[in-house]
Amino acid sequence: MGKSITHKIIERHLVSGEMIPGREVGLRIDQTLTQDATGTMAWLQFEAINIGKVRTDLSVSYVDHNTLQMGFRNPDDHRYLRTVAAKSGAVFSPAGTGICHQLHLENFAKPGATLIGSDSHTPTAGGIGSMAMGAGGLSVALAMAGEAYFIPMPKVVKVNLTGQLTGWAQGKDVILHLLGLLTVKGGVGKVFEYAGPGVASLSVPDRATITNMGAELGATTSIFPADERTRDFLEKMGRGQDFVELMADDDAEYDEVVDIDLSTLEPLVAQPHMPDRVCPVRELAGKKIDQCAIGSCTNSSYSDLKNTAQILAGKKTPPETDLLISPGSKQVMKMLAREGLIEPLLDAGARVLECTCGPCIGMGGSPVSAGVSVRTFNRNFEGRSGTQDGQIYLASAQTAARLALDGEFTDPVTWGDAPERIELPADVPSIRDLFVFPPADAGDVAILRGPNIVALEDFAELPDTIEAKVLLKVGDNITTDHILPAGAEITALRSNIPAISQYIFSRVDKEFVARITEAGTGVILGGENYGQGSSREHAALGPRHLGVKAVIVKSLARIHRANLVNFGILPLLLVNPADYDRLEQGTALTIPASAMTPGGTVDIVADSGESIAVTNDLTKKELEIIQAGGLLNAVRKNQS
């Protein structure tokens, strides 16, 4: 039997386990990336492991999220990240250089390499054939220390592409179509591997957009072949030596197959407040638009922004519609400036922002109250924009630019000729000199910490019996933004767990923190797909600090589940989902934690005397980690 790209990469990096779907496999990791919102804690955890130098082929610390330097907190974090990277042998990317995923794609990602990053959109690098996965910061810290990364062996889904995109349809519309087809839960436990004759028609930026938003499917990762398109991209980036051809065997077998005829796609949009609420743009014709925002790690490439400039050239946006543009990197900015493409953006009325994540994570650029904002981003969760009642729609850069001119949703048949499909110029300017590479001798480097940087606390082992109340009951598709909101005020506290924990569930239930602080311990009850979205481990760390001992849900998102395990919170699954309705906020529970076995079922007892059956999908090693009080405790125990 032939092999898929996914199987080839996993086989080459397999440290332990069997490549049977659902079985745990340990993978050797070639590269890691961190960003400042999650990276400060990841680097504190790396220091706690106490091995000195990173043991990967490459580790890069990017600053792209918390670049609003309001007060000392963010600048102090950036200084810490710069100095700890120099001391530890990692590359540092200063604030303003660009967005981590765009920069990594341009400068460091390699076909066939394994990459994990403390950001859920790390799969962007799958656009050039890297097996790139989002992970919690502690998992990344351990990979930097040379430890394997453990995941359940995923199923591999072949996305068979035929035809080619026509008219105004873009790569963004491919992934929006797939989200509409499969939902935000449709990729859990799966890798989406793109194949078929349609692949050759997609540029690397289009591919990266698709793999980036594969995270919204809940997928382990997404990946494209490394073909002649990939070779051309890497050569133009001055990295031709990094190219290796990587293709699936002709007779490769897959667990599932999804067929997409690219020629049938039209401009699509995801409606509030989920990326899978997809419909054609034409169906919303007449709806007024208050804001358009173009950029983020999903759609901030040279090709996206050159198209944007071409669409806007000689025109003006209406005064009622704000337009924000965030280039993905200084390399993109240099190419636009060289071709005279910044002036058309400015003349059209756009605000050109710094090369950062910015509005995507509510870091400025929020829409007006109840405002309709069309964004080229990857998530439209409620409140993520910084405006709690903002109505956020997701679309391609080309669609957003065209709608910005109209100030309302319009039918694409009225838009005229579609913009040309952009190829990279032959002489792409390099910005590699802007990265700070580690010194050969770091002996004199001092790691500098500000007063907001608080070391990770030691957590107690799991008790034999958990006696706690359900202190919060939530529904389906609770995201990490629900658990711990983003935005300038809160994100500045990512290196201070006691401080940031005060915001846990603050936009869901303002009384939750006070309630659990008074109780000292508690349990969270949730529905389907609990913890979807960002990889932010703070959504597990914060609850653990407050005293959450277990979450009881119908189903869990992959990365959040791993983060719960990493910090010693017991993830329990209702055997009978209907039992969710039998439990209420305030119900006191007795959970026989010591009776837990990997994959086993136990009965928890409510104060009414009712028994509720719960199970788990934990491996023996994961259960031991939870019993130890978390992964750091388990690592230290093994080292002693």
Catalytic sites, residue numbers = 64-65, 119, 379, 534, 536
Rounded CA separation 155/217 (Å): 14
Rounded CA separation 35/120 (Å): 11
221, 214 contact by CB (below 8 A):
yes
Rounded CA separation 542/23 (Å): 29
Q: Which of 243, 183, 191 is nearest to 216 (CA)?
A: 183
DSSP state of 461: P
Rounded CA separation 220/190 (Å): 6
Angstrom CA distances, 132 to 32, 379, 388, 421, 450, stand at 9, 19, 32, 26, 32
Tokens of 636: 């230290």
- For 616, residues 6+ apart whose C-beta sits below 8 A from its C-beta are 570, 571, 572, 573, 596, 598, 599, 600, 623
Rounded CA separation 106/62 (Å): 14
Ramachandran category for residue 184: left, alpha or beta (phi over 0 → left; psi -120 to 50 → alpha): alpha
- Residue 352's DSSP bridge partners are 325
Rounded CA separation 333/106 (Å): 13
- Nearest-10 Cα torsion for 198, 199, 203, 204: 160
- Nearest-10 Cα torsion for 342, 423, 124, 158: 150
Rounded CA separation 371/93 (Å): 34
Tokens of 255: 């667990």
What are φ and ψ of residue 585, in 5° steps? -60, 130
